[in-house]
């Protein structure tokens, strides 16, 4: 089920009689090889929010908390690939970088298995 806007998750799925909230993230390719940074597809782990005050729009970024979502789906539309991570599998606080060959290492089943093992 696709969820209306302004929620901290985009999709809800049912697995073993439990609802799982999934936050979908898309990326743009950043090739930073010249600067000795890790190159790959970059995904923001922060949630972008906005407020309107005196007819001005302000954007700010905040962290997802443990109740916002259960899983991330990192989508790369040009490759037609998706990598799934349980929120506890994310080891960074601002962005996750994936190389093209890493998408196959993170199927939905692996994230669901991780979720079952940690609960």
Domain assignment of residue 6, yes or no: no
Number of structural domains, the chain? 1
Question: Which pLDDT tens digit goes with each residue over 79-97?
Answer: 899 999 998 888 777 888 8
Domain assignment of residue 60, yes or no: yes
pTM: 0.79
Range of the domain at 21: 11-118
* Confidence (pLDDT) at 87: 87
| Residues of the chain above pLDDT 70, percent | 86
* Confidence (pLDDT) at 97: 86
Matching residue, tokens 């390719």: 29
Domain assignment of residue 3, yes or no: no
């Amino acid at each position: 089920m696709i969820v209306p806007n302004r929620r901290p998750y985009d999709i809800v799925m049912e697995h073993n009689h439990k609802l799982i909230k999934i936050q979908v993230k898309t990326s743009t390719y950043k090739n930073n090889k010249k600067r000795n940074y890790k190159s790959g597809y970059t995904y923001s782990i922060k949630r972008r929010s906005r407020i309107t005050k005196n007819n001005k729009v302000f954007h700010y970024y905040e962290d997802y908390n443990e109740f916002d979502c259960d899983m991330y789906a990192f989508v790369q539309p040009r490759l037609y690939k998706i990598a799934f991570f349980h929120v506890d599998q994310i080891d960074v606080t601002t962005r996750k970088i994936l190389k093209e060959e890493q998408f196959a290492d993170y199927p939905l089943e692996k994230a669901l298995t991780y979720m079952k093992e940690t609960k």
